[in-house]
Amino acid sequence: MKISDKFNELKKKKKGALIAYICAGDPSPDATKEYVTALVRGGADIIELGLPFSDPTADGPTIQAGIERALNGGMTPDVYFRTAGSLKVHIPLVVMTYYNIIFKRGLEKFVKDCAASGISGIIVPDLPPEESGELAGFCNKNDVDLIFLVAPTTTDERLKRILTEGKGFIYLVARLGVTGARADVAESTRALIKRVKTTTPKAVGFGISNGKQAAEIIRSGADGVIVGSAFVDIIASGKDVPARLEALAKDLKEGAAQG
Amino acid sequence: MACTGGGSNAMGIFHPFIEEDVDLFAVEAGGSGMKVTDKEALHSATLCSGEEGILHGMHTKVLQNKYGQILESSSIAAGLDYAGVGPELAYLADTGRLKPCNSMDAEALDAFNDLCRLEGIIPALESSHAVAYVKKAASTGELGDVVVINLSGRGDKDLETVMGMRK
């Protein structure tokens, strides 16, 4: 499913989107299939499936640990695409990974593998827009969205470029630093949502962990929330994981929907 | 002759000589051997054995496995213990302008001791790799009459490591 179709569908219902991140292969490829199903049951609108990279510079301790579990569990790009291709979900899938994984596989092959395994978007936190032309070319050819990140420190000049070239949705980084669950919503987050003016959907990530925050973000003008660490925390605990993933997704989705 | 991890001191000393008729040697950390597994390298010799990749925002040579996962590098010298290298150095190595080479942990330790004993200078373990390579190369005839070693750091900080190794 295309990302834009999903956002259009939600827009008609006046609901915010829940984009749920987990790291593929954490702690095993089979577990990932079960967990994705649980997130979808809980109401996730888009699944952001991390493809683990050994040096995840944008991720905090929670997701770093998840990535390590996944790598130790034998996750590789080959296994990743097999796993993604075997997921029976009817919502958009997005891959989040780092540029060296894509570069090493070959840009064109990577994008084609995405298209072939039902992945409709790519997020690469360590690829600046200025260097993204080649990958964007292959994405356009294969109808895969290249999603860019905007941080509170993004300059106006770069923001302009991102808003022109960004596809799928614009990933607003709620705060400086790395990923990780936080208790509150920062003032800078609201300021960023206001600053980014575009018809492309805006989704906010980094630090969101409950329905109350999700509602606040949507109320501030975002079209979706991205939640990762809070889910990965549940996976790390190893206790009652599918049920708790579903319950948290439900809480977040209710927040996003009423916001 | 300069030790090379990320390569800041090497690029600093090489820069004024790039256009000159001077041989440039980038001495990397050979660690405890050139062996590599799927997850780690026993060395940090990126120019010698790394492959093209992207790390920390640089398009350069990187120690990585076939999937592009970065290897855990290794060296007795913390300042050389890095899986990447400055892209300018990778370029100079590719064009043949500089010669990538390496010294092992044990060779660097010997050179550290030599410089302490013979000159009363305590070199950093990083810089000791460059001293060690000069010792090796002196007998192979690859050096000219004048050799400059960039003694990029002092070894006071390394005494604990070195004393520990002696016990």
Q: Chain B residue closest to A57 (CA)?
A: B56
- Residue B70, strand partner residues: B64
CA distance B43 to B37: 11
The whole-number pLDDT of residue B17 equals 97
Domain layout of chain A by residue ranges? 3-258
Mean pLDDT within B21-30: 98
Q: Which of B62, B69, B73 to mutate to test the interface with A (most CBs of A within 10 A)?
A: B69
Query: Which pTM was predicted?
Result: 0.93
A contacts of B55 (beta carbons < 8 Å): 55, 100
Cα A146 to chain centroid distance, Å, stands at 12
Residue A179 pLDDT: 79
Quote the pLDDT of residue B44.
97
Chain pair A-B, CB pairs under 8 angstroms: 38
Please pick, among A48, A113, A233, A251, the residue that the annotation labels catalytic: A48
Q: Which CATH number fits domain A3-258: 3.20.20.70, 3.40.50.11720, 3.40.630.30, 3.40.50.720?
A: 3.20.20.70
Per-residue model confidence (pLDDT) at position A177: 80
pLDDT value of residue B13: 97
Chain B residues within 8 A (CB-CB) of chain A?
53-57, 62, 64, 66-70
Stretches in chain A below the pLDDT threshold 50: none
What's the pLDDT score for residue A237? 97
Per-residue pLDDT reduced to its tens digit, A145-161: 999 999 999 999 999 99
How far is CA B47 from each of CA A196, B50, B89, rounded to the nearest angstrom?
42, 6, 8
Residues of chain B with pLDDT > 70, as a percent, come to 99
Name the closest residue on chain A to residue B83, using Cα atoms: A55
**pLDDT in the model for residue A211:** 95
DSSP chain B: -EE-SS-HHHHHHHGGGTTSS--EEEEEEEET-S-B-SSBBSS--HHHH-EEEEETTEEEEE-B-TT-PBPBP--SSGGG--S---HHHHHHHHTTSEEEEEEEHHHHHHHHHHHHHHHS--B-HHHHHHHHHHHHHHTTT-S-S-------SBGGGGHHHHHHHH-
Tell me the average pLDDT of chain B.
96
Degrees (nearest 5) of the Cα angle B132, B123, B7? 70
pLDDT tens, B43-90?
Answer: 999 999 999 999 999 999 999 999 999 999 999 999 999 999 999 999
